[in-house]
Amino acid sequence: MLTRIDHIGIACRNLDETVEFYRATYGFEVFHTEVNEEQGVREAMLKINETDDGGASYLQLLEPIREDSTVAKWLEKNGEGVHHIAFGTADVDGESEAIRGKGVRVLYDEPRRGSMGSRITFLHPKDCHGVLTELVTSAPADAAGH
């Protein structure tokens, strides 16, 4: 079961400037930053609200750190904007297998590491009416509301 909007992933060219835009315009503060070498991005998570499944909803601001990262290629084609959306679930393995069984292409054979120690996978946007869709299971501490 998918129980929350976990985050909206937004691709930007300059993470520091974009973080500052969200702080100055809306008052959103950085909850967490990290570099994900595998995804080729530097990212900031802005926590917007908590959710009734014990998790939270974030904006995830993403700046590519390599020209050959998928986010860099996406930016080159589309410019800055919403890159993907992510639904939270307690069971990313089970959900992704069930969804694969319905004929939707799941991009990873096994979930990989996402933000804040989460486990994630992606669904092919062409199978999801144009929306690159991520499934996320938070790390235990985060799932408990920390």
Residues that bind a second copy (CB under 8 A): 1-5, 8, 10, 12, 18, 21, 24-28, 48-53, 57, 59, 79-82, 85, 87, 99, 102, 104, 125, 128-131
Minimum CB separation from a second copy for residue 133, in Å?
Answer: 9
User: Residue 43 catalytic?
Assistant: yes
User: Residue 60 catalytic?
Assistant: yes
User: Residue 37 catalytic?
Assistant: no
Catalytic residue among 43, 63, 83, 95, which? 43
Token readout for 16 is 């520091």
Token readout for 107 is 């991009």
User: Residue 97 catalytic?
Assistant: no
Minimum CB separation from a second copy for residue 112, in Å?
Answer: 20
Contacts of 8 (CB under 8 A, 6+ apart): 58, 59, 60, 82, 84, 85, 86
Report in angstroms the alpha-carbon separations of 134 from 17, 27, 47, 56.
Answer: 25, 26, 17, 15
Phi, psi of 53 (to 5 degrees): -100, 10
User: Residue 34 catalytic?
Assistant: no
Minimum CB separation from a second copy for residue 126, in Å?
Answer: 10
Q: What residues are labeled active site?
A: 7, 43, 60, 84, 134
